[in-house]
Amino acid sequence: MAVTFHIPGALREFTGGRSTVEIEQSPLVLADALSALWQLYPGIRARMATEQGEVREHINVFIGDENMRYTGGLASAISDGCEISIVPAVSGGGEFSGWQENEFTHRH
């Protein structure tokens, strides 16, 4: 059974626009699954991993609903049929001032 990766929009240029990628091998740990993904789509590796092979801080990888940072990192066990989601961190924005908040709530 395959392992399915969910690819975010920012990385789809490296997968030919595909939002999901299936890895036919049955890797036992996340590092092996990522290696298989990176062999198929090498452009993703540079965006996801450091030169030392660690997942970059601004990239979250979920095995099912669990963040790999809390399940053993790259040594996290995976099973046949699991779904792995690559989720870039989102940051930015600003705070509403009182005027902006009132203006927004009165208009909408």
Tally of CA atoms within 13 A in the half-sphere of 101 that contains its CB = 5
| Vertex 82: Cα angle to 78 and 83 (nearest 5) | 115
Phi, psi for 43 (deg, rounded to 5): -65, -25
pLDDT digits (tens, 9 = 90+) for 10-33: 999 999 999 999 998 879 999 999
Q: What is the mean pLDDT of residues 83-99?
A: 71
Structure tokens at 38: 């990176």
The predicted model gives 89-107 an average pLDDT of 52
Mean predicted confidence (pLDDT) in 81-88:
95
